[in-house]
Chain A
């Protein structure tokens, strides 16, 4: 079946512009996660959705970052007034439920802020 998809695959933007990153989880997966991977580093948790609510936003690095999920499906991560340190691969994952279920990752969106 279809896996997690993300769009765009690559995004180059100028410092100060806003960007939106999209994630389509696996159908039926109620939990959705956003992570960030800086070059050569491990993954950092950003935010977690259970259904359409976000019980854990503890990883969002600043108030320039926000995310929403609608219809228990698609999620959008928005970064306002992008900075060069926002350059990274943004990965989305989904799991059937929370609490110990394995997460399946999308291919990521590579964001470059110039």
Chain B
């Protein structure tokens, strides 16, 4: 079975601080995909990134960066110089090939960025 754990229920930071959201996953499959989604107060889920299990390169997109480490089954997400607009619930998710690509979500981390 697949499982995603986001141990941090809620994080509060002050604007301009860096923050890392943790994600640990479990699967026995060798081919899988990892995702991060953002759910702002408006409620609509926004896709942020996808990673496949064969690509361990870290990725940076503006203030966002992701650290994928198979050795620890982790896919952590860092926001540099956080802004109030980053306040949202962030979900890490896993899908496994060839199980139809359904996403298994973590419980989410609530990020509050205060000005």
- Contact residues of A with B, CB < 8 Å? 31, 33, 35, 41-45, 48, 50, 55-56, 59, 89, 91, 93, 95, 98-108
In the assembly, what is the distance between CA of A70 and CA of B80, in Å?
A: 44
Dominant secondary structure of chain B at its interface with chain A: loop
Any A CB within 8 A of the CB of B84: no
The answer to whether B33 and A100 touch across the interface, beta carbons within 8 angstroms, is yes
The answer to whether B107 and A41 touch across the interface, beta carbons within 8 angstroms, is yes
In the assembly, what is the distance between CA of A107 and CA of B42, in Å?
A: 9
Q: A43-B91, A103-B47, A108-B44 are in contact. Are A98 and B105 (CB under 8 A)?
A: no
B75 to chain A minimum Cβ distance, whole angstroms, is 14
Any A CB within 8 A of the CB of B88: no
Residues of A within 8 A of B50 (CB): 100-102
Closest to A100 in B: B33
The answer to whether A98 and B106 touch across the interface, beta carbons within 8 angstroms, is no
The answer to whether B43 and A43 touch across the interface, beta carbons within 8 angstroms, is no
Closest to A47 in B: B102
Residues of A within 8 A of B47 (CB): 102-105
In the assembly, what is the distance between CA of A35 and CA of B44, in Å?
A: 13
Seed contacts A41-B108, A103-B47; 19 additional CB < 8 Å A-B pairs? A33-B101, A42-B91, A43-B103, A45-B102, A45-B103, A45-B104, A50-B100, A56-B99, A93-B45, A98-B100, A99-B97, A101-B101, A102-B50, A103-B103, A105-B37, A105-B44, A105-B47, A108-B43, A108-B44
